A and B are shown apart, each in its own frame.
Chain A
Amino acid sequence: MTRPSSTLKIANLQFRRGSRVVLDAIDLQLQTGEVTAVLGPNGAGKSTLLSCIAGLLRPERGAIELDGTSLFSLPAMQRARRIAFLPQTPEIAWAVDVQTLVGLGRIPFHGLSSDEEDRAAVARAMAKTEVAQWADRAVTTLSGGERARVLLARVLAGESDWILADEPFTGLDPSHQFEAAELLRSIADHGGGVILTIHDLTLAARIADRVVILDGGRVVADGPPQAALTPQILRDVYNIDAQWLTDDTGATPPLIAIHGRAARG
């Protein structure tokens, strides 16, 4: 399944909370077919950036264009059909069953797709995330990790061009982290655009085509993982001594070893 490519262009984006500048002069051009990992210390502006791209926050300056159209001139439903968003601390208010919850991802398509198409999209999303076996179970009876997979299925059910996920791997055990990462990777391989925030450097290096590092609301590095996550940048941004461990053949995935806090100076 390949789809027409799509471009998100962010130009000179600025966002303030009160007098504090959360995002400053952000310029990025993102393509579908890529996994973009947004990294940075707590409070760097990662979640704010994602919320702006999802259309939930309106920046005070700058532009976000989706294939040449300003994101803020798009009707909300149309935007929601193109960009799906998984918030950092997703809320589930009621004990709905898994199938119903995943089906909420089809809300932007109301009146545009048939019930049959909706059901098929929900089934595909549940199959990809391997949650179909819980279809009739109340979401509240699932464990945290199982719930995270169901919420990911909800985001996939929209089959949108773009998927934004704010720390999607939090609360997942290593095996499910790996699975979810592979899933997002395969969405990009099939032509979707994936933008996620993440704290795990190794996982980021492993699944991302591109790493954007934010610090104090500014982009301090942007490029392929190996180019962006250099020891120098990691020292500047996180104040840690870290090192890439790779074998020369490239057969083993990279590992970023953290040796300790860097001496300030």
Chain B
Amino acid sequence: MGRKWVIPSLVVLVAVLTVLSIAVGRVNLSWDVWSAQDAVSRAILIELRLPRAILGLLVGAALGMAGAAMQGYLRNALAEPGTLGVSAMAALGAVLSIFFNIAGVHPWVLPICGVLGAMLGMAALFVLSGSAASVLTLVLSGIILSSLAIAGISLCLSLSPSPWAAGEIVRWMLGSLTDRSFDELTLAAPLILVGCAFVLGCRRPLDALTLGESGARSLGIDLNRAQWQLALGIGLIVGGSTAVTGIIGFVGLIVPHLMRPLVGSRPGALLIPSAIGGAALVLAGDIVVRLLPGGSELELGVVMSLIGAPFFFVLLHSMRRKLT
């Protein structure tokens, strides 16, 4: 199968998964639900299934692209918003807005606090490890950021004034697409789409960075600008998605790895396939979550970590030689 078939095949896969995501759930919807007058079925379709599927598509695509962009910029196959603590920082931003009771002021406050948290995470990451970081520095920077964010979240949790706030906060720790409405979708979508546009604008700097920093700069690339553009773009993506779905990790780690053998390793050319692949992975994960037997649904973030952590382990194992 040639490379030119990869994207069309992935698009077909995502389309099939979107249809499945709308069709699968506790309640079986019949195929004529679009035209049927059954109010309950229509409500399930319009209010629950459709926003859930679209959000899965959007968040998956954005996280896949963010992972590919971070790997390209840091020239490191282990980089990803989740493993490097950027998602946790976004969650901390969102949690702080709940804790200080400013989230209720306006619907935009919480997502924007998430975006600010993620951007702060990106900035800290660039300061801690720079763009020429070794695997070790990078992973350690990620551990520092994650620990800090999780400690902050735990602190908010234990000092939390009301059980409602505590319950809300716990929700951020476990990523999920359950019970999201169009309201949440309209909050996340603009942030995520603008973020993706910023990231896509960095294709050439990412390509040039294949030759390292001095190689890229000698090709006329303004690396400072690329760095800020990426921090902004990834901040918007991760902040926007974490604000409505909580932390869904490992998407940005797994997908670019699966895509490289299919479309090649050029970082700029990896962004779009990783986005489509990310959408497929999150949609598939969200369908599996709903099909698993049991009283309550397993959270999607938990499933992704169950798949992602062993993947990370294998990857790290295969990169051992580079670490020493």
Closest residue of chain B to A74 (Cβ to Cβ) is B220
Contact: A56 with B217, CB < 8 Å?
Answer: yes
CB atoms of A92 and B207 under 8 A apart:
no
What is the minimal beta-carbon distance from A85 to any residue of chain B, in angstroms?
Answer: 4
Q: Is the CB of B264 within 8 A of A107?
A: no
Chain B positions 166-219 with a Cβ under 8 Å from a chain A Cβ: 204, 207-212, 214-215, 217-219
Say yes or no: is B221 at the interface (Cβ < 8 Å to chain A): yes
Choice from B75, B214, B220 contacting A80 with Cβ under 8 Å: B220
Q: What's the tally of chain B residues with a CB closer than 8 Å to chain A? A: 21
Chain A, 44-102, CB within 8 A of any chain B CB: 51, 54-56, 75-81, 83-85, 87, 90-97, 100-101
Q: How far apart sit A174 and B219, CA to CA, in the bound complex (Å)?
A: 29
- Contact flags B258-291 to A (C-beta < 8 A → 1, else 0): 0010001111000000000000000000000000
- B219 close to A104 (CB less than 8 A): yes
B218 and A107 contact, CB distance less than 8 A:
no
Structural contact, B211 and A54, CB atoms closer than 8 A: no
User: Looking across the interface, which residue of chain A has its beta carbon closest to that of B74?
Assistant: A93
Residues of B with C-beta under 8 A to A83: 218
| A254 touches B (CB below 8 Å) | no
Cβ–Cβ < 8 Å partners of A218 in chain B: none
CB nearest to B76 among chain A residues: A93
Query: Is residue B297 within 8 Å, beta carbon to beta carbon, of the partner chain?
Result: no
Interface string of B301-312 (1 = CB under 8 A from A): 000000000000
CA–CA, A93 to B210, complex, Å? 5
User: Are A91 and B207 touching (Cβ within 8 A)?
Assistant: no
Interface residue range, chain A: 20 to 34
Q: Is A110 part of the binding interface, using a Cβ–Cβ cutoff of 8 Å? A: yes
- List A residues 92-124 near B (Cβ within 8 Å): 92-97, 100-101, 104-105, 107-108, 110
Residues in B whose Cβ lies below 8 Å from that of A55:
217-218
Given contacts A87-B215, A91-B215, contact A107 B267 (CB under 8 A): no
For the complex, is A185 an interface residue (Cβ under 8 Å from B)? Answer: no
Residues B219 and A80 in contact, CB atoms below 8 Å apart: yes
Contact (Cβ within 8 A) A108 B219: yes
Q: How far is the CB of B74 from chain A (nearest CB, A)?
A: 9
CB of B218 within 8 A of CB of A84, answer yes
Cβ-defined partner of A100 (8 Å) among B215, B217, B264: B264
A147 near B: Cβ within 8 Å?
Answer: no
Report Cα–Cα, A92/B209, bound state, in Å.
9
* B218 pairs with A85, CB closer than 8 A: yes
A94 interface neighbour in B204, B210, B215, B218, Cβ under 8 Å: B210
Establish whether residues B219 and A96, one from each chain, have CB atoms under 8 Å apart when the complex forms: no
B218 & A154 in contact (Cβ 8 Å cutoff): no
Q: State which of B204, B208, B210, B220 has its C-beta within 8 Å of the C-beta of A79.
A: B220
Query: Closest residue to B220 on the A side, CB-wise?
Result: A80
Is B208 touching A107 in the complex (CB atoms < 8 A)? yes
CB distance from A193 to the nearest CB of B (A): 15
Contact residues in B for A79 (Cβ distance below 8 Å):
220
Determine whether the beta carbon of B214 is less than 8 Å from that of A107.
no
Residue on B with the closest CB to A96?
A: B265
Contact of B220 among A93, A95, A108 (CB under 8 A): A108
Q: Which residues of B (72-104) have their CB < 8 Å from a CB of A?
A: 75
Query: What residues of chain A lie closer than 8 Å to B217, measured between beta carbons?
Result: 55-56, 76
Asked if B218 contacts A100 (CB within 8 A), the reply is no
In chain B, positions 48-73 with a C-beta closer than 8 Å to chain A are none
Q: Which chain A residues border B212 with CB–CB below 8 Å? A: 87, 90-93
A101 to B264, CA, bound (A): 11
**Contact status A96-B218, CB under 8 Å:** no
- Residues 220-250 of B, flagged 1 when their CB comes within 8 A of A and 0 if not, give 1110000000000000000000000000000
Contact indicator A107/B221 (Cβ below 8 Å):
yes
Contact A96-B210, Cβ < 8 Å, known A87-B215, A91-B215, A110-B204: yes
Residue of B nearest to A166 (CB): B214
Is there an interface contact between A56 and B214, defined as CB atoms closer than 8 Å? yes
Shortest Cβ gap from B191 to chain A (Å): 29
List, in ascending order, chain A residues with CB within 8 A of B221's CB.
76, 107
Whether B215 and A78, one on each chain, are in contact in the complex, defined by CB atoms closer than 8 angstroms, is no
* Chain B residues, Cβ within 8 Å of A80: 218-220
User: Which residue in chain B gives the minimum CB-CB distance to A76?
Assistant: B220
Closest 9 CB pairs of A and B: A91-B212, A80-B220, A85-B218, A77-B220, A93-B75, A94-B265, A76-B220, A108-B220, A107-B219
A contact residues vs B (CB 8 Å cutoff): 51, 54-56, 75-81, 83-85, 87, 90-97, 100-101, 104-105, 107-108, 110, 138, 154
Name 12 interchain pairs, CB-CB below 8 A, sorted by A. Answer: A55-B218, A75-B220, A76-B222, A77-B220, A87-B218, A90-B211, A91-B211, A95-B265, A104-B208, A104-B215, A107-B221, A110-B204
Query: In the complex, given contacts A79-B220, A81-B220, what are 11 additional A-B residue pairs having Cβ atoms less than 8 angstroms apart?
Result: A56-B217, A75-B220, A76-B220, A80-B220, A84-B218, A91-B215, A96-B265, A101-B210, A104-B208, A104-B211, A138-B265
